[in-house]
């Protein structure tokens, strides 16, 4: 199961997001760090900068299947 995570400000998230996406906030960060490292993660934002930083962070934490979209879904 792919976990799509939206790396945006709360207002941007409220304007629209993928049906299954979760806003990457402090609570979700803690939750994601508990997942099995083989869990696939997908990060996206409007411009790609924040999602790329999030993807890099989770790769550094040992997640093996991390994706970053450069454009919003």
pLDDT in tens, 8-54: 666 666 666 667 676 666 667 778 888 899 989 888 877 778 888 88
**pTM for this one?**
0.70
46 contacts 12 by C-beta, under 8 angstroms: yes
Under DSSP, the state recorded for 41 is E
pLDDT at 30: 78
* 61 Cβ contact list (under 8 Å, min separation 6): 33, 37
CA–CA gap between residue 14 and residue 62 (Å, rounded): 30
* pLDDT of 4 over the 80 cut: no
């Amino acid at each position: 199961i792919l976990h799509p995570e939206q790396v945006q400000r709360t207002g941007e998230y409220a304007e629209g997001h993928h049906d299954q996406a979760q806003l990457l906030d402090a609570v979700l960060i803690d939750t994601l760090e508990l997942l099995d490292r083989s869990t696939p993660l997908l990060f996206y934002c409007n411009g790609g900068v924040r999602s790329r930083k999030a993807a890099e962070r989770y790769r550094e934490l040992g997640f093996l299947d991390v994706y970053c979209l450069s454009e919003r879904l």
